């Protein structure tokens, strides 16, 4: 594809100094040669974005909405091609890549709808005598140039989570995809720029620079940007927040999501949630089930159900419709997960299933009695591993969930409204899901975390507001 041959910087496409082979994680075969950018090209992209920012800010609501709808139509027309490309560059099972493209389409259409809802309101300035006769109102204005940096696990969707709100808000955006997965994002940028030009908007509304951490650093440290939106690890997110200060940072940094099973839970439904929520995307999802916290009175029954059905989690070629777990993004990630499993065993954990790899693919793994201090429990494993712990009560379970530096999503299985509302009130997370997987997410809801899981919220309505600033107007009629 021609748009893999350069980088969309400025109004056109510029050649890269070198290319890098993108390989299919499942068998190592070559997918494509991808352009690799440089810090100098990152600076050039910011130059162009700054220059065009006034034009983007001045685009009418009609044009911004039309650009997003054109992109939606273009992605929809190529839906199957995007799904297949995502399988090849991420190694994720086809079923998960289909979900990714579907969610991308929802994000684009929802962002287009939110353009019409971006408005301000009047302010009663005469609450003070000095305000008598004054008219006050505020509006929302674009925050300026946005830098969007996405992780490798959902490259198309995560890029869209940044591009669509930026366009809706009237901000030019410079994207940086993960080095392992630039292809679908390059294609998306091609479609965005085509849509912009078709509506009479500058192509520079969206630019992209690939490359390593030095490219990301060049982008986030530029004092001319208005905001950084980043999805990735906590360590990198913390560094970005420090480097970008005082510019605004929106950080979605992952978690070690918990699923609590109360004594009154529907155990069949809870077991189904563990199987669906623990292993989708081969476990490479920030809100996949990692910590399974079960009230001890029902733990044996739940564990039996999970282990009896574990064979339903089909392992193999991600191109096959039935596959649910396949190779991780690279061999380094696979080795890390295996090392964490081994370290957990040495610390006293028991392997109830899996714990090894076959032909480079980690088998669906269930660990029991993983202690605090083990990375499998404390950190985000990003692999097909679920860690089980039993507790005496739901009250204790909620405390265990909160005893983490992360707080993105958690779920609770219960038939009790009181338990459900207690969880909503007490859990220190960005989202509480009752009787569903913690990975349930609608792309129109406010999504984000607390503690080391980040700051800010995604979802078109909320992200658009994050990428605008209020401007107050105070008028004394002459």
Pairing of strands 365-368, 385-391: parallel
Cα gap 332→344, rounded to integer Å: 18
The closest of 336, 325, 337, 330 to 281, measured between CA atoms, is 325
For tokens 């009130």, name the residue: 425
H helices of 295-416, in order, are 299-309, 331-346, 375-378, 394-402
Q: From the centroid of its chain, how far is CA 29?
A: 27
Pairing of strands 385-391, 18-23: unpaired
CB 365 within 8 A of CB 385: yes
- Asked if 396 and 261 count as a contact pair (C-beta separation under 8 A), the reply is no
Task: Work out whether strand 12-15 and strand 6-9 pair parallel, antiparallel, or are unpaired.
Answer: antiparallel
**8 A C-beta contact, residue 154 and residue 100:** yes
Phi, psi of 250 (to 5 degrees): -110, 115
Which token pair is 421? 């509302």
Give dist(CA 35, CA 19) in Å, integer.
Answer: 4
Residue 261 to residue 405: CA distance in whole angstroms: 21
Name the residue among 257, 304, 253 with its Cα closest to residue 280: 257
Euclidean distance between CA atoms 307 and 309, whole angstroms: 5
Note whether 33 and 21 are within 8 A (CB). yes
In angstroms, the CA 374 to CA 353 distance is 18
Distances (CA, A) of 150 to 101, 141, 401, 473: 15, 25, 27, 36
Q: At 112, is the secondary structure helix, strand, or coil?
A: helix
* CA distance linking residue 224 with residue 304, whole number of Å: 57
Q: What share of the chain is helix, strand, coil (3-state, %, to 5)?
A: 45, 20, 35
Catalytic residues: 252, 286
Tokens of 20: 């890098």
* Residue 128 to residue 130: CA distance in whole angstroms: 5
Closest of 422, 419, 438, 418 to residue 430, by C-alpha: 438
């Amino acid at each position: 594809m021609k748009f893999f041959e350069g980088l969309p910087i400025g109004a056109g496409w510029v050649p890269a100094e070198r290319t890098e082979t993108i390989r299919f994680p499942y068998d190592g075969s070559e997918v494509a040669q991808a352009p690799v950018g440089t810090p100098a090209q990152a600076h050039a992209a910011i130059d162009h974005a700054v220059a065009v920012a006034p034009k983007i800010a001045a685009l009418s609501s009609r044009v911004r909405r039309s650009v997003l709808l054109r992109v939606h139509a273009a992605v929809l027309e190529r839906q199957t091609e995007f799904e297949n490309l995502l399988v090849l560059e991420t190694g994720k099972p086809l079923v998960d890549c289909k979900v990714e493209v579907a969610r991308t389409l929802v994000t684009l259409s929802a962002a287009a709808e939110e353009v019409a809802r971006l408005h301000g309101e009047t302010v009663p300035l005469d609450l003070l005598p000095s305000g008598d006769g004054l008219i006050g109102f505020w509006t929302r204005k674009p925050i300026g140039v946005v830098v969007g940096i996405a992780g490798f696990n959902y490259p198309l969707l995560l890029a869209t989570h940044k591009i669509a709100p930026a366009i809706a808000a009237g901000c030019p955006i410079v994207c940086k995809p993960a080095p392992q997965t630039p292809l679908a994002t390059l294609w998306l940028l091609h479609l965005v720029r085509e849509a912009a030009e078709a509506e009479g908007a500058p192509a520079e509304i969206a630019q992209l620079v690939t490359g390593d951490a030095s490219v990301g650093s060049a982008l986030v440290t530029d004092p001319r940007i208005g905001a950084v939106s980043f999805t990735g690890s906590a360590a990198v997110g913390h560094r970005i927040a420090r480097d970008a200060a005082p510019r605004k940072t929106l950080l979605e940094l992952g978690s070690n999501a918990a699923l609590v099973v109360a004594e009154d839970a529907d155990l069949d439904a809870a077991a189904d949630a563990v199987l669906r929520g623990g292993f989708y995307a081969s476990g490479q999802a920030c809100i996949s089930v990692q910590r399974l916290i079960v009230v001890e009175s029902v733990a044996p029954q739940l564990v039996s159900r999970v282990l009896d059905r574990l064979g339903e989690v089909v392992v193999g070629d991600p191109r096959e419709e039935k596959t649910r777990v396949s190779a991780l993004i690279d061999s380094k990630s696979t080795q890390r997960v295996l090392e964490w499993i081994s370290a957990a065993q040495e610390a006293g954990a028991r392997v109830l299933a899996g714990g090894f790899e076959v032909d480079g693919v980690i088998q669906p793994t269930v660990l029991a009695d993983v202690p605090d201090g083990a990375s499998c429990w404390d950190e985000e494993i990003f692999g097909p591993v679920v860690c089980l712990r039993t507790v005496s009560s739901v009250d204790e379970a909620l405390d265990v969930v909160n005893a983490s530096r992360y707080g993105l999503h958690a779920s609770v299985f219960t038939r009790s409204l009181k338990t459900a509302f207690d969880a909503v009130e007490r859990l220190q997370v960005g989202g509480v899901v009752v009787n569903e997987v913690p990975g349930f997410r609608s792309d129109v809801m406010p999504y984000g975390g607390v503690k080391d899981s980040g700051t800010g919220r995604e979802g078109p309505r909320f992200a658009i507001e994050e990428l605008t600033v209020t401007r107050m107007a105070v008028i004394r009629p002459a």
